[in-house]
Each structure stands twice: as structure tokens, then as C-alpha cells.
Amino acid sequence: MQNLSEIPVNATSEKIFSVIIKVCVVVLLFSIFLSCIVVMLYIFASNRQFLDSSRYILFAFMLINDTVQLLFSVLLFFLYMGQVKFALIYCFPLLFVSNATFQNTPLILATMSLERYVAIIYPLQCPPAWRSDRIWIIILSLWFLSCFSIIIEYSIGQHNSTVNIFLTPVVCRSAVVNSSPIQTLFKTVVNILCFAAVAVIILFTYVKILLETRKLRQDRTSVSKAMNTVLLHGFQLLLCMLAFTIPITESLILLYANQLLEHIPFLNFIFFILIPRFLSPLIYGFRDQSFRSYIGKIFLCCSNRGKPSIRSLMKNNFFAP
């Protein structure tokens, strides 16, 4: 009888230990990501040349968007891991921001590709909407499109009469809000159309820039960089689309490894949500020569501050007792 009573205790302790390890891994990765983003945003805000460039303004917007998306995703992940329950009315804002920022990322990538296209095709006469002092209009339009689709998605769902949105405690996740088949269909169609349109825009801008290189005899270096940038946006789009492979990976894990059943949400969150959003802005930021040079200067200054100067060492040794 004593051994039987110890089994649930051991199982509970192992489960708690597993949750603690998962939380620590997520916190560590998110802290590293947040530190890099803070450095990049500091560089952007402290240098006038970045503030006057539409390209870097869109990049900073992408950094902020991905940071907010990861912040809310991590918060929802912690709530799910702890099985924290609260009223549905408090769950809606968390899921709304998380889904809107997720939907916003491919739109930002398409806009950044179009900005490179405009900069190459119209180097001397940039359209007014793409100037640095008016780019905020495009940014607000992207937010409007993302939020509008999420509002429609939540509005067309059928309310469950057994669930009181003000009193009934639930675990906050998308399946609770998107429980209606029409909502699932609408979300699938919107995601497919959105990512297909973004893919077409990225391909269009790359082909147009490629054709433009045959006409230009000067400044081929900037054109080549623009082509590589558009290709990078296509790679970033592929990273974003990894989130749609979650149902496939869940089916494969259930088919070949049933013992990993309780770890499926954690593995999906790490490999298909956290790491792709972690890599996407960092690759773009560290690839940019201007950002990379400023990042190197910041780390160099930090390392020099941590090392005592030769003069101070000589002074300390001279006056040492």
C-alpha cells in the first residue's frame, strides 16, 4: 500500500519538475531575444539616419510587432502550462493581440519588399506614401487589416450558452474562443490568402528588381543588396509559415511517439513559434551592415567598461600597502 501511495506523489513531482524546466527554457530564450531587440531599438532611436529611412522604420516596426507577439505568446504559454483558469472576458484581449500581431508579420514582410522595389525603381522620385515622414500611414493600415480580420473572426462565432464570458473560468487558448467550425474555416481561408498574397508580392518584387539589374549600368551593388533583402523576406515568410505545420507534427508525434504526448505543446511552441520569431528579426538586423557596425561598437564599449584601465591598475599597485 505504501508503494502505491508513493506513485502519484512521484508522478506529480516529475510533472512539476518538467514544467519548471520548460518554463526556464522559454524564459532563457525570450530573455536573449528581448536583449537583442532592445539593443537594436536603442540603435534605431539614437541615430538620425535610421529615423529618416523608411526601410529602417519598417524594420523597427517589425521588431516591435514580433516582440509584442512573443510576449503575449509566452504569457499564454505560461498560463496554459500552469492550467490557470479565469473568465473568458479576460482571455479575449490576450488572444486578440497575439493573433493580430501574428497576422501582421507577413504583411510587414510584404511591405518591406515593396519598399525595396520602390527604392530601386523610383530612386529619385519616391512616391509620397513611402517617404519616412508618411510611412506611418502604411503602418496604421497594416494594423487595421490585421485587427479587422480578427474582429470578424470573433464576431462570426456562435456563443456557447453554457459558458458565461464573465464568470465561467477557462484555460485561455485559441480552441476556447475559436470553437465554431465557421470560425476555423474563416481563419484558414484568411491565413491561406494572406500568405499566398505575400508570397506573390515577394516573388513579384524580386523578379522586377532582377529585371531592373539588366537595365542599370551603375549602382549594381545596391540593386544586388535589394535582391538579397527580398530573398531574406521570403525566408522570413517561410519561418512564419512553420506555425501552420503544427497539426502535421502533432499527428506524426502521436503516430510514432505516444510517450511525448504531454510535451507536444512545449515542442510546438519552441520550434514553430518561439525560434522562428526569434531568428527572423535577428537575421535581418545582424545582416544589415549599418546595424552590425553599431552593435559591434556597443558590445566593444561594454567590454571596455568591464576591464580596468592600465593607469588605474598601476595606481592601485603603487599605492597598495
pLDDT band at residue 1 using 50, 70 and 90 as cut-offs: very low
Whether 281 has a pLDDT exceeding 90, the answer reads no
The pLDDT score that the predictor gives to residue 5 is 45
The pLDDT of 280-295, averaged and rounded, is: 76
- Band the pLDDT of 89: cuts 50, 70, 90: confident
* For helices 54-81 and 88-121, angle between their N-to-C axes, nearest 10 degrees: 160
Q: How confident is residue 309, by pLDDT bands cut at 50, 70 and 90?
A: very low
Predicted local confidence at residue 96, as pLDDT: 92
Q: Using only the alpha carbons of the chain, give its radius of gyration.
A: 24
Choice between 280 and 58, residue whose per-residue pLDDT is larger: 58
Nearest-CA neighbor of 229 among 254, 210, 257, 248? 210
What is the rounded CA–CA span in Å between residue 216 and residue 54? 23
Q: For the chain, what is the mean pLDDT?
A: 79
Q: Phi then psi for 160, rounded to 5 degrees?
A: -75, 120
pLDDT band, very low/low/confident/very high, at 217 (cuts 50, 70, 90): low
Separation in Å, CA 56 to CA 43, 61, 268, 284: 11, 8, 31, 11
**Neighbour-count burial of 143, counting CB atoms closer than 10 A to its CB (0-12 exposed, 13-18 middle, 19+ buried):** middle
Count of CB atoms situated within 10 Å of the CB of 254 = 12
At 75, the pLDDT band (50, 70, 90 cuts) reads: very high
What CATH number labels 2-290? 1.20.1070.10
Domain residue limits, the chain? 2-290
Window from 10-19, 29-38, 174-183 with minimum mean pLDDT = 10-19
Residue 109 pLDDT > 60: yes
